[in-house]
Amino acid sequence: MINPYQSYIKTELDSLPVAGIIAKGYDRIILELKSAIENIEKRNIKGKIENISKAIDLLTTLRLGLDFEKGGEIARNLEDIYSFCEREIQLANLKNDVERLQNVIKVLDTVKSGWEELATKS
């Protein structure tokens, strides 16, 4: 039986331009990082690790989608941003550093805004 929520998400993603789908990826990473912060504050280490793992997996997916031939300097800049975010997330994970995660959220939220703007022009 088809899950109505999954059906809704699939319909939503199918109707979005690529930039909109990428923005949704950022939304999901940010959501995972916010959950990781909550889990750090609750001292729920297992939950934190699960959130961090999902965030890094999603970030890796975005990184693997970079097209350096077509994207040129923009793709290289995104690669640098993704590398920075991944390092910060890993350090935050090791030290339970909420501030580092909040900084990553700010960076990703700024980049997400650019993708959202691009999606409205598509």
Q: What is the per-residue pLDDT for 59? A: 96
Distances in Å between the Cα of 7 and the Cα atoms of 2, 23, 48, 115 are: 7, 19, 28, 24
pLDDT at 19: 86
User: How far is C-alpha 7 from the geometric centre of its chain's CA atoms?
Assistant: 22
Share of the chain above pLDDT 90, in %: 78
pLDDT of residue 3: 60
What is the reported pTM? 0.85
**Residue 1 in this model has a pLDDT that exceeds 70:** no
